[in-house]
Amino acid sequence: GQADPAGNIIIPPEYESILSLSHHYILRKNGKMELRDYNGQVILPLAYDSLGILMEDPRYNNLRQLYFSQDGARFQIHNQEGDIIPEHHYQGFDRLNRNSVLLHKDGKKILAQYYSGELVLYPNLPIDYARPLNTWYFAYGLNGKEGVMVCPPAVQHLKEHFGKAIFDTVLEAHYRDAGRFLVRKDAS
């Protein structure tokens, strides 16, 4: 639970676990999860199998966040106040970094970014998968080949941030220069 210095109970000590986030708590009880603010007010009720931060917007000093919830097969995206963002129907996600994810929709992956307080989608940038190379750079797969993309925080993603997917494998970022990569490409 949580109490203030005077001993007043803010969150009762009946939960199996409490995860402290920057502005909220995620609590677990009887296999279900809920989200509360630091004052103990319920943002998302004790009803979810899974709950967490989807993305953060580093452009704000007070760190705006989007949350995800999952109950069975139902996956939802919520704003910081707990409201569902209704027009977005996805089945899950792969995290790239603090403010970028690949959302799953009908077998496809859609790059999404939390930028300037908005969920920005890039459906015209096809990606099969992505994996980190270092803090901002990712190898992404498309049609059996790999390329490099950069997803820096607080910068809106642009097509110029995506190298062509022409390599068999992007192995790793160079240890001295984060903008250079070791790659493998078939000689044919």
pLDDT tens for each residue of 16-43: 998 888 778 999 999 999 999 888 899 9
The confidence score (pLDDT) of residue 126 equals 86
d(CA 159, CA 182) in angstroms, rounded, equals 22
The pLDDT-based confidence of 183 (bands split at 50, 70, 90) is confident
Q: Mean pLDDT, the chain, as a whole number?
A: 86
CA separation for the pair 164, 106 (Å, rounded): 25
Residue 116: closest CA among 67, 66, 43, 160: 66
For residue 60, what pLDDT is reported?
64
Mean pLDDT of 2-15: 82
167 pLDDT tier (thresholds 50, 70, 90) = very high
Instruction: State the pLDDT at residue 61.
Output: 56
Going by pLDDT thresholds of 50, 70 and 90, the confidence category of residue 103 is very high
- The whole-model pTM stands at 0.82
pLDDT at 88 over 80: no
Cβ neighbours of 126 (radius 10 Å): 14
Q: What is the pLDDT of residue 50?
A: 94
Alpha carbon distance 136, 178 (integer Å):
9
pLDDT at 137: 86
Band (pLDDT 50/70/90 cuts) for residue 65 is confident
